[in-house]
Structure 1
Amino acid sequence: MSLEKILSISGKPGLYELHTQTRTGFVAVSLLDGKRITVGLRSNVSLLSEIAIYTLQEEVPLREVFKAIKTKENGGKTSVSPKDSKEALEEYFFEVLPNYDEDRVYASDIKKVLQWYNLLQENGKLNNEESEATEVSTEEEQQA
């Protein structure tokens, strides 16, 4: 599973996996409780694959941030809770992404990234991420 089919829907808790497209929107499955919901085209939806974190030099894709967290935590859940203090969250994020832009990345953004990481980790969605990346690179090497 790649982040291409993982959605964040404004006004809805957690993350959703895109299941199927309909004429008026799409059907998504919640990663929190497994319930299916229909989402209209007017809803504010973000694909995790298109989200990036501001750094002092460039924008880092969320996939890379998740990889850095996974490396730091040895594949487990985050050592800080998204409910910890602002200072604790910022200190943790500096360890993960040392050059993130403090002025443009808020504590609420860090909380959301950590919640998403933990939810994806619980559902085993991050384990497949690395194998898909290696499959793509080997396919590219074979075509060359």
Structure 2
Amino acid sequence: MELEKVLAITGQPGLYSLKLQTRTGFVAESLVDGKKINVGMRNNVSLLSEISMYTHTEEKPLAEVMRAIAKKENNGPAISHKEDSNKLMAYFKEVLPDYDEDRVYASDIKKVLNWYNLLQAKGMVSSEAPKGKGEKAEAAETAEGEAPAEKKPAKKAKKE
């Protein structure tokens, strides 16, 4: 799930994809209707990749929460964000059993489910974890489980 270029813009409905940086801000394209808008530096913008949910033990990245929803729903749509707050909280408890009920509000759950359903409709949600830098490093380990030796910088040639 690639959330690095997906934005939530305060005062704008839905989610946006970062398209182009300009001198005064950037251009974003709506994932709902495809319209492009100019976003200035004064707008409050959040990258979905930087958002986390509170749990009793740690903060869980939004991508992991969305993967948990996708796993529960077999990569299909989740329940509507317009459901009753009690029903949404019970659903979220199934997805993320250790979420902190004191710091995660029903409005937060509604927003996450709305975003999930929007991204799922665009085919941007998967229950599979992306192969990242950490997994490449693990694959590079030797059969004994040791990390490969560090490469030393090449020696500079002497001038004659």
Q: TM-score, normalised by structure 2?
A: 0.82
Cα distance in 1 for residues equivalent to 2:128 and 2:87: 28
Cα distance in 1 for residues equivalent to 2:20 and 2:4: 13
Deviation at 1:124, TM superposition (A): 1.1
Aligned partner letter, 1:45:
V
Residue 81 of structure 2: SS of its match in structure 1?
coil
Aligned residue in 2 for 1:4: 4
Residues 108 and 42 (structure 1), Cα distance of their counterparts in 2 relative to 1, 3 Å cut: same
Aligned residue in 1 for 2:69: 69
Aligned residue in 1 for 2:136: 139
Give the ranges of 4+ consecutive aligned residues of structure 1 lying more than 6 Å apart after TM superposition: none
Deviations 1:86-130 (A, max 9, x none): 100000000000010111100000000000000001111124x84
Aligned residue in 1 for 2:23: 23
Residue 7 of structure 2: SS of its match in structure 1?
strand
Aligned residue in 1 for 2:42: 42
Pair 1:13 & 2:10 matched: no
User: As a proportion of its length, which structure holds more helix?
Assistant: 1
Cα distance in 2 for residues equivalent to 1:110 and 1:135: 27
Cα distance in 1 for residues equivalent to 2:133 and 2:117: 25
Deviation at 1:139, TM superposition (A): 3.4
Work out the percentage of aligned pairs sharing the same amino acid. Answer: 59
Q: TM-score, normalised by structure 1?
A: 0.91
Pair 1:60 & 2:64 matched: no
Aligned residue in 1 for 2:154: none
Residues 65 and 5 (structure 1), Cα distance of their counterparts in 2 relative to 1, 3 Å cut: same
Larger RCO: Structure 1 or Structure 2 (Cα < 8 Å, ≥ 6 residues apart)? Answer: 1
Aligned residue in 2 for 1:123: 122
Cα distance in 1 for residues equivalent to 2:136 and 2:32: 33
Gaps (5+ residues) in structure 2? 142-147, 149-160
Structure with max Cα Rg: 2
Aligned partner letter, 1:3:
L
Report the count of equivalent residues.
141
